[in-house]
Amino acid sequence: MRRDKNLVCLSRQHQHALALCVRMKRAPLFTAHELDAWQAEIQQHFEQEIQHHFAAEEAALFPAARRFSELRSLVEELVSDHAELRQCFTGATNRTLDRDALRQFAELLSTHIRKEERQLFEGIQKQMTAEELRKIGLSLDTILAAAPKTCIVPSETRLRNPDS
């Protein structure tokens, strides 16, 4: 199903996070410097985009989806995922994630995004009217306006320039 224009802002952010996950899954993650660089990038993603993304979903999208009995358990699962992911982001900020934890984080985040895209967004689009989706889109735009408009420095840059 084609993504409703009112949810596209979240889908774009999902693409950014999925790209991070793919790059992390391919990265060697052998040295302390590599682990630090990836944790710095994860922290930056969270601070500049994902924390605002989670806030928008939790304030605008999840409450609307809970109105539908067939989506309630999925929403509760996604809320639980957010809590677990926040712990991972805290670990990255504190630079306490090891190689296995970084791989688990990438898997958890990519699985979570796919649940939202394939199950939640599809379900919402089937259940809600165009007007309901429009109102959600306006709320999402308002909340996401607080997100910084800066570029995220990829780990590859930090790996080439250890002093950055």
Q: What is the pLDDT of residues 39-73, one digit of tens each?
A: 999 999 999 999 999 999 999 999 999 999 999 99
pLDDT-based confidence at residue 149 (cuts at 50, 70, 90): confident
- Residue 16's closest CA among 154, 120, 135, 133? 154
Say if 142 falls within a structural domain. Answer: yes
**Residue 160 to residues 100, 109, 156: CA-CA distances in angstroms?**
23, 26, 6
Of 76, 99, 78, 83, residue with least CA distance to 29: 99
Residue 154 lies in a domain: no
> Residue 125 pLDDT more than 90?
yes
Q: What is the CATH classification number for the domain harbouring 68? A: 1.20.120
Is 101 part of a structural domain of the chain?
Answer: yes
What is the average pLDDT score of the chain? 93
Task: Specify if 66 maps to a domain.
Answer: yes
pLDDT at 124: 97
In a domain, 69, yes or no: yes
What is the pLDDT at residue 147? 80
| pLDDT for the residue numbered 24 | 94
Specify whether the CB–CB gap between 101 and 73 falls below 8 A: no
Confidence of residue 156 (pLDDT cuts 50, 70, 90): low
**Structural domain contains residue 1:** no
To the nearest whole percent, how much of the chain has pLDDT over 90?
A: 87
Q: Kindly tell me if the per-residue pLDDT of 9 is higher than 70.
A: yes
Show Cβ contacts of residue 156 under 8 Å, excluding neighbours closer than 6 positions.
none
- The pTM (predicted TM-score) of the whole model is 0.89
CA 87 to chain centre: 13
Q: Are 38 and 160 in contact (CB under 8 A)?
A: no
Provide the domain limits for residue 70. 8-147
